Each structure stands twice: as structure tokens, then as C-alpha cells.
Amino acid sequence: MSTRSTHPTSSPDPYAAPTAVHHPTVTHTLAESAELTAARVPLAAPVDPDRTTVFAPPDGTAPETLRDATAEIAAAHSAAPSLPPRRLSAIDAQDVSAWFGTHKVLERVSLSMLPGEVTALIGPSGCGKSTFLRILNRMHELVPSAALAGQVLLDGDDIYDRSKKLQDARKDIGMVFQKANPFPAMSIYDNVVAGLKLTGRRAGRDEKDELVERTLTSAGLWKEVKDRLRQPGGGLSGGQQQRLCIARSLAVRPKVLLMDEPCSALDPTSTRVIEETMTELKKEVTIVIVTHNMQQAQRVSQQCAFFLAAQGTPGVIVEHGDTEAMFSEPQDERTFDYVNGRFG
Ligand SMILES: Nc1ncnc2c1ncn2[C@@H]1O[C@H](COP(=O)(O)OP(=O)(O)OP(=O)(O)O)[C@@H](O)[C@H]1O
């Protein structure tokens, strides 16, 4: 066990009174739980595989149905320049606790995020999902008052080990934020290449061209922008900008991609395109997504973790495991209540 940064003086031993629990044991009680579970409602409706969401094609070439989009994105992936295959990575959080000043926001959270799968982090506002996500690529330490304890292992190596460089963690574990943040005046092409520049690596023209096509294809954007690569990134729609940011993150070939509510600012059409893109992307990068959208969690993830912070206590994981099972047969009544919209 290792301890990072400066611990709050009022709590010198972060493990003095461990109360966090992990699936399937439950020791926390939520005040409202009994009341909430008194009137159970049917489980969330399963996702309809034949849903026929109509797309609003920006250039008149987009398909009409999600089913078509899935096929199109998959086809684009197989036609794109490819890289030699590599082993998919696992990221493991072990007994992670976190503070902002003296405010403890996570309590001994452990979670294994499996290679080549999408793990969804769900839970009510303020339970520490984003903090947990930011700990996974060492962004938490950017906040001056922040502290943490525990370990984050990328393929078995602790990213917080003193011998590890911060830059390596950021390169290996990319992040896409809630609000798309491309460089607006920079061209689409240069936005993607900027991802590479951040690593300090120089690349020739051919390599850059290949990189731009490959990453934009992986992000599900190539077809829409291939004829206007020199136009500013800021001229794209919100959904396209988010996919451009995904492409920029992919340019450094991360092993893990963290996504913090990547669709919350997007319309349903753009949301579906990004979800389909994620389904393809997980074949090359392990994905962890924070989402408030239960249907999205069901659609995109194979693993799910339910975070909860009872009044005045730090966030813990109440239950985690296979997404389908979490939604159809949750082991904890608080999970049942949350995934069925009873609170949060
Ligand atoms: N920079 C910060 N400084 C101080 N406290 C913070 C900071 N960021 C988050 N917190 C606190 O940490 C706790 C967890 O916040 P966090 O954003 O991780 O929760 P969340 O589950 O992601 O919430 P949401 O779903 O609303 O985004 C909250 O009490 C929040 O107020």
C-alpha cells in the first residue's frame, strides 16, 4: 500500500476506520433505501436492437438507421490503415481513497477494468466518479489540495510509482472530457497531429497523413471530414468536435481511454454515433466511461460499477460486475433503485 501527496492533517491515517465495501458484501445503509425499495418498479426496458433512430446527416451521406451506422463504422475501421496488433491493457485500482483538503471523497475503492472492454462508472452526482476517473491518469494531483492513497496499476505497473513519469501516464491513459475541447482555430488535421506533438515525437508527412486518417477513422469521423482536413476544428458540429477530440487522444496510441460524460452535451444522434464508435474502439483500447445515462451504460459497456456516497460519507463502490447482470439482477437493493431511476 502506498500513500500519495499530503494527507489531510485531521486524518493522518487514511485507513483508521475503513468502512468501504466492495461487491457483493454490503455494510453501508442509505437513509432512503427502505423507503425507495418499498415500491419497486419494473426493470429498465431492454435496449431494442432494432431501434431505428434517424440520423441527421451533415453531408447527406450518413445512413438512416443506427444499424446502418454500426455497419458503416465497422466497415470504415476495417478499411482504414492498420497498426500491428498489440496486447490490450488492463487497469486496476486498488484501495484508492481520495481527498480534497480534509474532505474525503473516495473510500478504498477497488476496481479492475478489463482489457478490451468498456467499463461504465455510474452513480448519483457527487459520489466521486469523475474524481476516480481523474485518478486513473494522474489528473487528480493537478488540484493543489488533492491527496490520494492506494494504487493504480496499468498492466501490473503502478502509475504512481516514483520511477514513473507523469507524462507516460498521460500518454498511456488518454482522456476525453464532457465538453469537446479541440483547438478551434487549428485545422482538423493539425488538431489530430497536436496529440502527437504533446508527446514530443516528430513524424514525417507520410506518417502524419496515415495517423490522421487512421485516428479519424477510429473516431468515426474520417468520412465526414476527409475533404476538409485543412478547415478549422472549431467549424465542426459539437458531436464532430467530440469525435475530433477522441481522434486527438488516439494519436498517441493510448492503452486506456477515459471518457467523462462524453455525450452529455450532445444531441441523441451524435450520442449514438459516439456510442457506435466506442463499440469499435474497444477492440484497440480499454475504455472507462462516466455516464449518467443508464441506457447508454447498458448499450456501450460490458462492465459496470455503481458508486454511491451516503450523506456525509465518501464514495464507495456498492456493486460492480457484468453490465447485463447489474441491470437485470442487481445484488444490492440500492443498485436496483438507482438503475431503475428511484433516486439520483
Ligand atoms: N476540485 C475540487 N475541489 C474540491 N472538491 C472537489 C473538487 N472536485 C470535486 N470535488 C468534490 O468531490 C466530490 C466528488 O466529486 P466528483 O465530481 O468526483 O463526483 P461525480 O460523481 O463525478 O459527480 P457528477 O456526477 O456530478 O459529475 C464532491 O463532493 C465534489 O464537490
Ligand 1 centre distance from Cα of residue 18 (Å): 21
Ligand 1 centre distance from Cα of residue 151 (Å): 20
Q: Are 221 and 169 in contact (CB under 8 A)?
A: no
Determine the pLDDT at residue 55: 27
The response to whether residue 143 sits with its C-beta less than 6 Å from ligand 1 reads yes
Task: Please report which confidence band the pLDDT of residue 79 belongs to, taking 50, 70 and 90 as the band edges.
Answer: low
What is the DSSP code (8-state) at residue 242?
Answer: H
Ligand 1 centre distance from Cα of residue 149 (Å): 17
Is the predicted pLDDT of residue 236 greater than 50, yes or no?
Answer: yes
What is the DSSP code (8-state) at residue 53?
Answer: P
Taking only the tens place, the pLDDT of each residue in 21-68 is 333 322 222 333 333 233 222 223 333 333 222 223 333 333 344 445
Taking only the tens place, the pLDDT of each residue in 173-196 is 999 999 999 999 999 999 999 978
Mean pLDDT of the chain: 80
The response to whether residue 100 sits with its C-beta less than 6 Å from ligand 1 reads yes
Which of ligand 1's atoms lies nearest the C-alpha of 98?
12
The response to whether residue 102 sits with its C-beta less than 6 Å from ligand 1 reads no
* Residue of 104, 121, 127 with the most ligand 1 atoms within 8 Å of its CB, for mutation: 127
The response to whether residue 109 sits with its C-beta less than 6 Å from ligand 1 reads no
Share of the chain above pLDDT 70, in %: 75
Ligand 1 centre distance from Cα of residue 241 (Å): 25
Taking only the tens place, the pLDDT of each residue in 127-143 is 999 999 999 999 999 99
CA nearest neighbour of 129 among 194, 178, 172? 178
Here the cell at position 257 is: 481511454
Is the predicted pLDDT of residue 154 greater than 70, yes or no?
Answer: yes
Determine the pLDDT at residue 137: 93
Determine the pLDDT at residue 21: 30
Question: What gap in Å lies between CA 113 and CA 208, rounded to an integer?
Answer: 31
Is the predicted pLDDT of residue 111 greater than 50, yes or no?
Answer: yes
Is the predicted pLDDT of residue 259 greater than 70, yes or no?
Answer: yes
SS3 state at 302? coil
Which of ligand 1's atoms lies nearest the C-alpha of 145?
3
Ligand 1 centre distance from Cα of residue 103 (Å): 10
Determine the pLDDT at residue 18: 30
Highest mean pLDDT of the ranges 39-48, 80-89, 192-201, 269-278: 269-278
Q: Is 181 exposed, middle or buried (0-12, 13-18, 19+ CB in 10 A)?
A: middle
Task: Please report which confidence band the pLDDT of residue 199 belongs to, taking 50, 70 and 90 as the band edges.
Answer: confident
Determine the pLDDT at residue 197: 76
Ligand 1 centre distance from Cα of residue 147 (Å): 13
**What are the contacts of 222-231 at 24+ separation with CB within 8 A?**
222/76, 222/80, 223/61, 223/72, 223/76, 224/58, 224/59, 224/62, 225/188, 228/188, 229/187, 229/188, 229/189, 230/187, 230/188, 230/189, 231/187, 231/188
Query: What's the ipTM?
Result: 0.98
The response to whether residue 125 sits with its C-beta less than 6 Å from ligand 1 reads yes
Determine the pLDDT at residue 201: 77
Task: Please report which confidence band the pLDDT of residue 214 belongs to, taking 50, 70 and 90 as the band edges.
Answer: very high
Q: Are 280 and 244 in contact (CB under 8 A)?
A: no
Here the cell at position 102 is: 480534509
Is the predicted pLDDT of residue 71 greater than 70, yes or no?
Answer: no
Q: What is the dihedral of CA 260, 262, 267, 271, to 10 degrees?
A: -120
> Which residue owns the Cα nearest ligand 1 atom 9?
131
Which of ligand 1's atoms lies nearest the C-alpha of 123?
21
Ligand 1 centre distance from Cα of residue 105 (Å): 8
The residue assigned the cell 444490492 is 332
